[in-house]
Structure 1
Amino acid sequence: MGPEAQLTLDAMAADFVVDLSNVMRDDRLCGSRPVDLRRFLDLLAALVAYTGDEAVQVYAVADRSLLRQPGLTADEKATLRRWYERGRIEVRPGADDRLIELAETAELRVISRDNFEDAYREHPWIPGNRDRFLRFEPGPGGAGVVVVPRIMPTPPEWHISRKEEESRLLRAGMYDRRHATGARRDLLTRQWRCPRHDCPMFGGDAAVDQPVPVYRQGVVRCPTHHEPMADIGPSTPRVQLKVRIDGVSLARFMVRADAAVVVGRAPVEPGGVALAPWLTPSARNWISRRHVELSWDGTALAVRDLSANGTRIRREDTSETGRRIGAGRPWRLRKGEVIVLHEGVELVLSGRAFVFENPAQPPVPRGALAEEAATPTMIRRPRPR
């Protein structure tokens, strides 16, 4: 049976869904070229050995850029084009969403080395899954390919946020995967101005914390009006934190390098983050009006305890209570650490460096008036959406 006979776009007839681009670009497999069709052919042979079925059927999904990959030979391009035109493979702008969709709707097992971490929040069945994913590896002595069942990782919150950011930047053209240089920091650390003054995101009256623009055909463009934008100078370094209550992220706020932010029950400082509306009576009694001060130097977040009852720092990947930090002494928060103000009330550093946006939940209340409006009998804790 030839390889084309093993390919199908009938999800009900398929045994596996395969990330075709992921396989062909894996230079751990045969050959030293950046992309090679032989790797996929070896995978098909490995699936026959794995299942013991000569007629095993594979639903292959490729991202569109694969068909334009410069490293492909003329014969490989012709083969991929023939498979596409005959309805043997599916081609999408990006393959990941389709792979997960087929895993959910058709219960197909996914073959890919991707961890799909940017999809974990939308598809909480993925982390820790033991029966829906397989990976491919070089065969003994580097010859051929073998298929191995896998357990999907359960990464910390900051890592999921970072993968979500990479996905967003990739769609905006602000992440260079082809040359493995990652985020386009030279563009993402600048302020941009749309030629249309009334542009809500990049116009003359736009907020200081701008969203991510798009990069197309070598030009930074407004995502709303698609017009080239002017570089108006460097942006202020900033970082995003999440307010997490009983394990649920309810809101987010920014800390900029030019101004510290005080967080507590109801701080009086301009720009302070008031937590009172979300706190139980016990937490309200424990958390100080001005509990911690946060500052960002562009590299690390410094936490200074201002409270009467103390602040703890714990590792996110453990159930330990953590250690109490010294009053008034700055603590440089490390990756994977969580700021604990009270049991179940935490501040979590986002893994994102550039993609900051307001969530669907109500924004964090600001200023001391929030406490006055939130007596214990009037507390309304937002439901997570």
Structure 2
Amino acid sequence: MPFERRLTLDASAAEYVIDVANVVREPALGGERAADLARLSGLLDALAEFTRDPAVQVYAITDRSLLTDGRLTPEERQSLDRWYLEGLLEVLPRADDRILELADALELRVVSADNFLDFHRAYPWIPGNRDRFLRPFLQPDGVIGVRPRIMPVPPEWQVSRKEEEGLLLEAGVYRRWDRSAHRAVLGRDWRCPEADCPLFGAADRPRSTALPRRRKSQVLCPTHGLPLADAGPRPSRAQVKVVMDGTVRGRFMVTAGEPLAVGRAPADGGVVLGAWIDDTEVESVSRTHVMVSYDGTGLSVVDERSANGTWVRRRRPTGDELVPLPHGALWHLRQGDSVVLHERLELLPSGRQFVFEEDPADGTVGPRVSADAAGPTMMAVPWPPGQEPG
């Protein structure tokens, strides 16, 4: 697929954050040129393989200098300009602090070879971290890959020196994102005074769910640094992935208050699974198999009298449990649940924390299911006797 389809500034859909300039200008990732946009394409392919998700969504950020880098071809610079204007690429004077702001607020995983030493005090979860960072590397066959990395725990003098360098590069630093407030900010529609702003432009432009910046009590445009105007509430959304044989085949969004039909060929604008799954499995899925809804805090599912039944997979410390979903019954999905339409086909809600919260009913929370893992793990669980899908 064209790799630019994996770029998004939608804060509710992105799963990784990437410093584009860092990747494009890294000779160790192959190629003979000092700057090569093909390295970004190779990295996105590597992420797709790592996550087993061909359409993995990445929040792409770059330093402004990349757009005028003479080491890129004119066609490559035109592509960067177009992505910026279309709201697929965020462009800033310096990208590092914004990358960590997004990672901290939205719990995105960071793909970078940078150690971010000048931000270790602002983000104390960085030193020694083992699960929030990936490093791109060149494999022996010349193809780019990614692998988890352990962040270093540097001596104090190194941290201080990097902080001084950062202050010289940028006169002052933005305050850390207030994590207690990011839900409220993402629930509003924001407008930038600059009408041509690719993130928060005029009302006739497509609405963005990019993450604004905060500085004390102000909400700012990350591109122009100007205060954003609050244009009213925005319906919250949740992401659901279509997983077949352990591989993500597609994804769709569910808007709060707008139930969505999912099945082989649902009417009235529902999600047509036949676009993503094999023909043999399509016949095991009903025309309208389930209705999925979102109330702003969690997802629910109702079996719409499917022919072959629906199950909910509950992930427990002792092993997975399959629970049959009676026709017409409403099931409120908890963290870690997935909806099983066929033994090879599941609907996997995103593990993003601003979609799910811990369930207060019994205090139990299953293992986190998220793109933060190396792809969705599908455990083999026996079907209950007499309930095998037909």
Taking structure 2 as the reference length, what is the TM-score of the superposition? 0.46
**Alignment TM-score, normalising by the size of structure 1:** 0.47
